[in-house]
Amino acid sequence: MILILLGPPGAGKGTQAERIVRMRGIPQLSTGDMLRAAIASGSALGRKVKAVMDRGDLVSDEIIEEILTERIKAPDCAKGFILDGAVRTVGQAEMIDRVLKKQKKELDVVIELVVDEEELVNRLRTRIAEAKKAGRPLRSDDNEEVFRNRQKVYRDQTAPLIPYYEKQGKLRKVDGMGSVEEVGAAIDGALDASD
Ligand code: AMP
């Protein structure tokens, strides 16, 4: 099964992707994680994307195409994979359609986590306070100003994917405001229905 998890920053895509990995045994492809690993390794790619990510803006579609097309070819993706925050513009969605078609594969389903933006900001504040208290490091884009920009970028550049996938008949909306278990169960229902 090939699926996309869509939803604004902080909606819980990563947490839900990890759950699907455990339940279905397919890998989670997070371009955010891949880019953060590039930054941590000090590679040329990492140096190129750091400032853009720290502002909460999107890296170019070309960079995403480069890292995703390679990753998708790996043997562990043969039975499917989860694109977690990995498709963020209509250009990237068209690219994925093209790449999959070349490999004679097809996207099965797109899960949109529907959440309330103000509630996400509240959750971020709690996360920051808890991390500070526990002395845990925070992501460099985890502060309120950058977070609000990431929400705006989502509204402007990623939300147009919703009608794009609706037209393809692949979009399933899931209420993302419940507990991890409740949202997980709703996703399971949507995935079972499209098996
Ligand atoms: P994430 O961990 O998914 O929230 O991504 C963190 C940051 O990485 C984003 O704010 C973007 O700067 C960058 N990023 C991750 N995935 C993409 C993508 N598919 N397209 C463009 N930028 C991305």
Nearest atom (ligand 1) to Cα of 53: 12
Query: In the chain, where does DSSP find H-type helix?
Result: 13-24, 31-41, 44-55, 61-72, 90-102, 117-134, 144-153, 161-167, 180-193
- pLDDT confidence tier of residue 146, bands split at 50, 70 and 90: very high
Give the mean model confidence (pLDDT) for residues 91-109: 95
Supply the pTM of this predicted model. 0.93
Best of 4, 13, 59, 62 for a ligand 1 pocket test (most atoms within 8 Å of beta carbon): 59
Q: Which CA distances in Å does 145 have to 55, 117, 141, 164? A: 9, 14, 9, 29
| Cα angle 22-7-186, degrees, rounded to a multiple of 5 | 50
Angstrom distance (rounded) from CA 5 to CA 108: 12
Give the mean model confidence (pLDDT) for residues 62-75: 95
Ligand 1 centroid–CA 58 distance in Å is 6
Best of 29, 31, 52, 145 for a ligand 1 pocket test (most atoms within 8 Å of beta carbon): 31
Cβ < 6 A, ligand 1 pocket? 9, 30-32, 35, 52-53, 56-59, 64, 85-86, 88, 92, 141, 150
Average pLDDT, the chain: 95
Of 49-63, 103-117, 123-137, 149-163, the one with minimum mean pLDDT is 123-137
Ligand 1 centroid–CA 59 distance in Å is 7
pLDDT for residue 43:
96
Give the mean model confidence (pLDDT) for residues 105-132: 93
Ligand 1 centroid–CA 84 distance in Å is 10
Nearest atom (ligand 1) to Cα of 9: 4
Catalytic residues: 13, 88, 127, 139, 150
pLDDT for residue 127:
87
Ligand 1 centroid–CA 9 distance in Å is 9
